[in-house]
């Protein structure tokens, strides 16, 4: 369970990273929209786990590797934005948020189930 402090800090990081990704990181992944779906921060606020969702991109693992290879640059830009609000700038760890893929997969399963003919309930 995250504390209020962690949640608030994660929100600040998510907001500022979203602006950074929107303006400056778009050059790393042309024609790809990157969304920061959630940020989780460790209790000591030293590590921020950032979950990303990629739209209009076929190879998410390559996109994630590109982001990870520029993590220090992204952290520097984040530090420039939040330096007056925090003591330390957290290390950034990036992960793919596959929630949308999971939802699509579940929708397909439910759709398949609903199309199957229903068998009559047998009472004994």
Domain ranges of the chain: 4-115
C-alpha closest to that of 41 among 66, 17, 65: 17
| CATH for 4-115 (2.130.10.10, 3.40.50.10860, 3.30.710.10, 3.30.300.20) | 3.30.300.20
- Non-local (6+) Cβ contacts of 77 within 8 A are 20, 24
Q: Is 93 helix (H, G, I), strand (E, B) or coil?
A: strand
Global confidence as pTM:
0.78
Print pLDDT tens along the chain (124 aa). Answer: 788 999 999 999 999 999 998 888 778 888 888 889 999 999 999 999 999 988 888 888 888 999 999 999 999 999 999 988 888 899 999 999 877 777 778 888 888 888 877 776 666 5
């Amino acid at each position: 369970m995250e504390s209020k402090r962690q949640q608030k800090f994660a929100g600040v990081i998510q907001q500022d990273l979203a602006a950074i990704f929107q303006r400056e990181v778009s050059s790393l992944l042309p024609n790809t929209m990157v969304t920061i779906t959630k940020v989780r921060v460790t209790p000591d606020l030293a590590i921020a786990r950032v979950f990303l969702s990629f739209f209009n991109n076929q190879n998410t693992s390559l996109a994630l590797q590109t982001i990870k290879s520029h993590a220090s640059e992204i952290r520097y830009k984040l530090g420039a934005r939040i330096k007056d609000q925090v003591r330390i700038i957290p290390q950034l760890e990036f992960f793919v948020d596959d929630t949308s893929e999971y939802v699509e997969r579940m929708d397909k399963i439910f759709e398949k189930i609903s199309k199957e003919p229903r068998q009559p309930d047998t009472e004994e």
